[in-house]
Amino acid sequence: MELSYKKQNCTQVNEEYIGKECTLAGWVSTVRDLGGIIFVEVRDRSGLFQVVADPKVNPQVYEKFQELRSEFVIQVTGTISKRPDDTINEKLKTGTIEMYPSSIEILSRAIALPFVLDDEGVSEEVRLKYRYLDIRREKMLSNLTLRHKIVTAIRNYLNNNDFLEIETPNLTKATPEGARDYLVPSRVHDGKFYALPQSPQIFKQLLMVGGIEKYYQIARCFRDEDLRADRQPEFTQVDIEMSFVKQDDVINMAEGLVVDAFRAAGVDVKAPFKRLTWKEAMERYGSDKPDTRFGLELFDVSDIMAASTFEAFKSVVEKGGTVRAIKIPGIAGYSRKEMDDVRNLAISFGAKGLAWITYLEDGSVKSPVFKFLTQEQIDEIQKRADAQKGDIVFFVADTHKVVFDVLGRFRLYFGDRLGLIDKSQHDLLWVVDFPLFEYSEEEDRYVSVHHPFTMPAYEDIDKLETDKAHVKSIAYDVVYNGNELGGGSIRIHDPGIQEKAFKALGLSDEEIKNKFEFMINAFKYGTPPHGGIALGLDRLVALLVRANSIRDVIAFPKNAQAKCVMTQAPSDVSEAQLRELHIKLRNLPKIH
RNA sequence: GGGGGCGUAGCUCAGCUGGUUAGAGUGCUUGCCUGUCACGCAAGAGGUCGCGGGUUCGAUACCCGUCGUCCCCGCCA
């Protein structure tokens, strides 16, 4: 596209343009003033192009070039020429050609930048404060470009499969469960608040009631929780819902989408992906998002410990807990201090203690728990672990939840520390058959693992009233290299089952009516069986560009304190604005 | 809410066991330089050592507090 100020992009110009006139516009990337001749690299989004000012060729242009400084915005027009053979720069796409401009226009000047653009070591704090400059960096440009390509691939895939892209409200109703809401006060309605959506969940289900059948949205979601490297208060989900589907339909659709999204990032993966049940994932890897690029699988020794004289472990099993173990190869030589560190690590992960058996290189075997075990029991453990000289087997006894959590983290820790993870792999899998509920100690009731609209497994519907802990759900997560890319479920489309599900969560009739009446009503008017999935776009892109933080794939992210260091949001507002919103602060901000 | 790391020039950092004039690289400014591409050479400007308090004859350094920032746990249906 030819623009008024610019007829070519920098890297569009190639040797075919030699002898032709071009007009480039962009930023001054570098000025190399050799005294009698000045070289300037012009940068636009496409890349770099060298222009040369020689007083013998054009004294007026040379004079103007002496004014140029880094990041000035300029327009140059001139004929493209081949560089002398010995001055070709192979690092540059346009390194065989250059321009001696016949005219130069300074479109805008720039003061000295707060940091050097090609310096990789600049702190994130500075980068975020001047994000508009940070975005000029090649790395950020390529991250945002790849994000665009991935979104484009996703849109193409869904459009080609007959989906409609539909927007849902950002001003909506506070949701009862889940994350904390961002609230938006209503000026029109004194004392009332909208909430920003944590996800378009309810609306996309109502679109199914509305007969849309196949919906998607690149949806902004908001959660007022503490941040992490991979969590922002506002983030983007690829939100999808389909009617007349069972689990395999959604999974097949999503696999095609992930394959296309990865291809857009230059990564070839093949569908179908592996599938693990939630139970298998927990028992083998201690995680519902297992990284299966390496082994170190957990194994069960509850039966052995229950038969031992080791009271601490025995009693755990008798109370319904479990004792599981993990074999870590080649660390039997750990010093006393290293073992103390390992034990402290286990405790920091939530273990009450840590037991182990060390298989020393000299063939001897040592353990603080041998006195509680018979030789047969010791042999059986070695057999299950397939322990060799140099290995250590660690044991944790507690509730299933704690044991899996501790050993799962142990596994990741040692996988990383021992360099067992093949970073070149692209390990994609589904975790299916999640439990529908989990018990919340804090609230002393069962809460949804996924959300309250998740369909129970057909064979478990009876258990909604009798055995909540063992109700499986038709919910599935897609996992990439040990990271949750997304998850979804088949939804309840039967008002009767939905009511049972709400009751199982301990919601009273009144609460159900207040919070979900519109939804229950909607479902009375003919609701297709439906289900869907949501994929975390920021995390997906961050993983594919191997960024340390999703902030690196978001143009204007918040920092870890949920502040925008560039705009200083969130900020105080005027008393007048508050009054209009009928809001009185408990602690007024300091006068400024 | 809890734990840990960091805070010294515009940027990235060094600074010994507490010692008198706080350094380097880079960026910036100026001068010289006609084929550079991390141009080179030279000179110069640039500091509330985050802030407050304490210990001390003396604190950038030690202690306490506080603020900022990053990571992790909790939390994130």
Helix (H) or strand (E) holding A248: helix A247-264
Single pTM value for the model: 0.94
pLDDT at A589: 46
Spatial contact of A411 and A286, defined as CB atoms under 8 Å apart: yes
Give the span between the Cα atoms of A153 and A385, in whole angstroms: 45
Q: How far is the CA of A116 from the C1' of B20 (A)?
A: 36
Report pLDDT digits (tens) over A117-135. Answer: 988 889 999 999 999 999 9
Q: How far is the CA of A145 from the C1' of B70 (A)?
A: 26
Closest by alpha carbon to A97, among A105, A89, A109, A106?
Answer: A89
Write out which nucleotides of chain B lie closer than 7 A to a protein Cβ: 1, 10-13, 26-29, 32-40, 68-77
Unique residue bearing structure tokens 């909430």 = A195
What string of DSSP letters covers A135-198?
Answer: TTSHHHHHHHHHHHHHHHHHHHHHHHTT-EE----SSBPPPSSSSPPPEEE-SSSTT-EEE--S
Residue A567: CB partners within 8 Å, gap ≥ 6? none
pLDDT at A511: 83
Report pLDDT digits (tens) over A354-391. Answer: 999 999 999 899 999 999 999 999 999 999 999 999 99
Q: How far is the CA of A19 from the C1' of B41 (A)?
A: 37
* % of residues, chain A, pLDDT over 90: 83
Helix (H) or strand (E) holding A53: strand A47-53
Closest by alpha carbon to A479, among A184, A276, A192?
Answer: A276
Measured from the CB, is A111 under 7 Å from any atom of strand B?
A: no
Report pLDDT digits (tens) over A33-69. Answer: 999 999 999 999 999 999 999 999 999 999 999 999 9
For helices A537-544 and A138-160, what crossing angle results, to 10°? 120
Q: How far is the CA of A588 from the C1' of B65 (A)?
A: 24
pLDDT at A592: 34
pLDDT category of residue A176 using cuts at 50, 70 and 90: low
Report pLDDT digits (tens) over A388-445. Answer: 999 999 999 999 999 999 999 999 999 988 989 998 999 999 999 999 998 887 778 8
Report pLDDT digits (tens) over A312-371. Answer: 999 999 999 999 999 999 999 988 888 888 888 888 888 888 999 999 999 899 999 999
Average pLDDT over residues A73-93: 96
* Residue whose CA is minimally distant from B32 C1': A35
Report pLDDT digits (tens) over A231-245. Answer: 999 999 999 999 999
- In window 301-330 of A, residues with CB < 7 A from nucleic chain B are none
Nearest nt to the A440 alpha carbon by C1': B77
* % of residues, chain A, pLDDT over 70: 99
Q: How far is the CA of A194 from the C1' of B75 (A)?
A: 22
pLDDT category of residue A203 using cuts at 50, 70 and 90: very high
A47 DSSP β-pair partners = A44
For the ranges A178-187, A442-451, A479-488, the lowest mean pLDDT is seen at A442-451
Report pLDDT digits (tens) over A505-558. Answer: 888 888 888 888 888 899 999 999 999 999 999 999 999 999 989 999 999 999
pLDDT category of residue A159 using cuts at 50, 70 and 90: very high
Measured from the CB, is A93 under 7 Å from any atom of strand B?
A: no
Measured from the CB, is A168 under 7 Å from any atom of strand B?
A: no
Give the span between the Cα atoms of A583 and A581, in whole angstroms: 5
Does the pLDDT at position A293 exceed 80? yes
Closest by alpha carbon to A36, among A10, A62, A72?
Answer: A62
Q: How far is the CA of A329 from the C1' of B67 (A)?
A: 46
pLDDT at A101: 97
pLDDT at A586: 77
Q: How far is the CA of A348 from the C1' of B59 (A)?
A: 37
| Segments in A92-137 forming alpha helices (H) | 124-129, 131-134
Q: What is the ipTM of this complex?
A: 0.93
- In window 267-306 of A, residues with CB < 7 A from nucleic chain B are none
- Rounded mean pLDDT of chain A? 93
- In window 31-60 of A, residues with CB < 7 A from nucleic chain B are 32-37, 39, 41, 50, 52, 54-56
In Å, how far are A16, A40, A47, A344 from A100, measured between CA atoms? 16, 10, 18, 67
Measured from the CB, is A138 under 7 Å from any atom of strand B?
A: no
